């Protein structure tokens, strides 16, 4: 497709869908706030990774040249605290969890960003930004040595979140730091404290210390994408204060608008509450992989609109697996060829229109099911090609149908294929001997172990893994 396709994106800053027009024709510069690497990624992180993977995939499908930057926060208070608790070096802790993050993201089918900067590599750029803010009257060094941002100096503070300064002041609950000029001010540079690891300390004109969290993303994004770029994304919980503070920092330093479109994916909920570590109701991506294959987890995330709440439960993942199984089953009898998508075909047009409407994946997935139904009725290889190709733009249906249906490379229990085939043969012989009781017993035995048998019209039997199978077969 050509990049002149009209696409509307919900802009958090404007609180409405707006036509997307990049600063540079045919090119999209995209920055997404990534993971703070001190623990394993949870499902909320997985949602962010998948949501913006879909965004960058679709923009590329439209023909845009995309420069996708997703950072890694490898220095902050939580990281330092965890390293000290573990008695290990900060670099060892962050490297371990960066590897784990990559393993989880790769399993989810998340393509690596074009650039994945680490905060610790951009401290000089952070110091330059802080110096510019001090020069422009937005930053000051407090009596405790920290360098803070003077929030009230930035007249438009709060426009991203819709909060006024007076509202924020009334809602301020943090115990006052008397060194600050105002309780709303936030740290740009934190003076080093006694006992902190040496690797968490850098030299600066304001004394030895480390950067505040918010300045990290301002420095990395502007260094790699320029002072103005097209899209900045992240989880809804980052809208305030992190992204609000990024705007204040970046625009305070450069004097010009920072980002055109702000995108935020919705929270993951468990029951009626947001999933969070502080509530103890979180589930890591690896916890989910222990029960469900990774593509099922991806499909569970993709079939909800990125801005809507995502309700996590094993029952919802089981339903996602059943739905994904229906799509793969449609391809089993009509293996598609490798030709390019036909974007003029009616299903593809509907799919494109859905995705161009603020990445409406629920409607796009509905088109996939319509296509699957058409494939099942017609056994048409061209429609099967459309189904696989359109799903591929969402990072779905990338395996062979037989591999998926048999549970190959899934996150659950391993199945002994030789044993299954032997039991299927024993059942075939029992049926030939008209011993249907024994044939039914073998079917039930395999079902107990998570294997579903499907008898074909030609007399053969195929098998697939049940959605929630957890037993190991010996």
Cβ count near 78 (within 10 Å): 15
448 is in an annotated binding site: no
Q: The tokens of 33 are what? A: 């706030």
102 is in an annotated binding site: no
277 is in an annotated binding site: yes
Cβ count near 416 (within 10 Å): 14
Cβ 471 vs Cβ 414: under 8 Å: no
Residue-by-residue pLDDT tens, the chain, 474 positions: 665 679 999 999 999 999 999 999 999 999 999 999 999 999 999 999 999 999 999 999 999 999 999 999 999 999 999 999 999 999 999 999 999 999 999 999 999 999 999 999 999 999 999 999 999 999 999 999 999 999 999 999 999 999 988 777 765 554 456 678 889 999 999 999 998 899 999 999 999 999 999 999 999 999 999 999 999 999 999 999 999 999 999 999 999 999 999 999 999 998 777 777 666 778 999 999 988 999 999 999 999 999 999 999 999 999 999 999 999 999 988 777 767 899 999 999 999 999 999 999 999 999 999 999 999 999 999 999 999 999 999 999 999 898 888 875 444 444 566 578 778 878 988 888 888 888 888 888 888 777 888 787 777 887 877 655 443 333
Burial class (CB in 10 A: 0-12, 13-18, 19+), 171: exposed
Cite the DSSP H helix spans in 172-293: 213-225, 244-254, 285-289
> 314-332 and 381-392 are packed helices; what angle lies between their axes, rounded to 10 degrees?
140
Determine the distance from the C-alpha atom of residue 372 to the mean position of all C-alpha atoms in its chain, rounded to a whole number. Answer: 26
Determine the distance from the C-alpha atom of residue 396 to the mean position of all C-alpha atoms in its chain, rounded to a whole number. Answer: 15
Write the CB contacts of 88 (distance below 8 Å, at least 6 apart in sequence): none
3-class DSSP state of 381 = helix
Q: What torsion do the CA atoms of 52, 58, 61, 63 make, to the nearest 10 degrees? A: -80
Q: The tokens of 90 are what? A: 């900060």
Q: Quote the CA–CA distance of 136 and 138 in Å, as a whole number.
A: 6
Determine the distance from the C-alpha atom of residue 140 to the mean position of all C-alpha atoms in its chain, rounded to a whole number. Answer: 36
Q: What's the whole-model pTM score?
A: 0.86
33 is in an annotated binding site: yes
Cβ count near 39 (within 10 Å): 18
273 is in an annotated binding site: no
């Amino acid at each position: 497709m050509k990049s002149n396709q009209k696409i509307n994106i919900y802009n958090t800053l404007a609180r409405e869908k707006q036509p997307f027009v990049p600063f540079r024709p045919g090119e999209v510069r995209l920055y997404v706030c990534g993971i703070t690497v001190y623990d394993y990624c949870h499902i909320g992180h997985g949602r962010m990774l998948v949501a913006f993977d879909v965004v960058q995939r679709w923009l590329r499908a439209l023909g845009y040249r995309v420069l996708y930057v997703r950072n890694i926060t490898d220095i902050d208070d939580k990281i330092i605290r965890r390293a000290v608790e573990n008695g290990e070096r900060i670099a060892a802790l962050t490297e371990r969890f960066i590897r784990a993050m990559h393993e989880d993201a790769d399993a989810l089918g998340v393509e690596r960003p074009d650039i994945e900067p680490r905060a610790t590599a951009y401290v000089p750029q952070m110091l330059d930004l802080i110096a510019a803010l001090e020069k422009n009257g937005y930053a000051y060094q407090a009596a405790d040595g920290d360098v803070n941002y003077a929030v009230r100096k930035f007249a438009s503070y709060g426009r991203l979140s819709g909060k006024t300064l007076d509202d924020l002041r009334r809602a301020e609950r943090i115990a006052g730091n008397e060194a600050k000029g105002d309780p709303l001010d936030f740290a740009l540079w934190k003076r080093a404290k006694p006992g902190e690891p040496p690797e968490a300390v850098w030299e600066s004109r304001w004394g030895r210390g480390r950067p505040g969290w918010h300045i990290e993303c301002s420095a990395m994004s502007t260094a790699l994408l320029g002072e103005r770029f097209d899209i900045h994304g992240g989880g809804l919980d980052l809208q305030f204060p992190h992204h609000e503070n990024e705007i204040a920092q970046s625009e305070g330093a450069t004097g010009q608008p920072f980002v055109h479109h702000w995108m935020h994916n919705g929270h993951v909920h468990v029951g009626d509450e947001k999933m969070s570590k502080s509530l103890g109701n979180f589930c890591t991506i690896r916890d989910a992989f222990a029960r469900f294959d990774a593509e099922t987890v991806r499909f569970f995330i993709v079939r909800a609109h990125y801005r809507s709440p995502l309700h996590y439960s094993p029952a919802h993942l089981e339903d996602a697996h059943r739905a994904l199984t229906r799509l793969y089953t449609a391809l089993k009898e009509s293996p598609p060829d490798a030709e390019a998508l036909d974007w003029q075909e009616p299903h593809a047009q509907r799919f494109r229109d859905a995705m161009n409407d603020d990445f409406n994946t629920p409607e796009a997935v509905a088109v996939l099911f319509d296509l699957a139904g058409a494939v099942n009725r017609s056994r048409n290889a061209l429609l099967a090609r459309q189904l696989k190709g359109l799903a591929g733009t969402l990072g779905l249906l990338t395996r062979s149908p037989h591999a998926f249906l048999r549970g190959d490379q899934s996150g659950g229990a391993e199945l002994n294929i030789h044993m299954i085939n032997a039991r299927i043969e024993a059942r075939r012989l029992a049926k030939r001997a008209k011993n249907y009781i024994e044939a039914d017993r073998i079917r039930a035995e395999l079902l107990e172990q998570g294997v579903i048998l499907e008898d074909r019209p030609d007399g053969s039997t195929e098998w697939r893994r049940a959605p929630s199978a957890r037993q190991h077969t010996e």
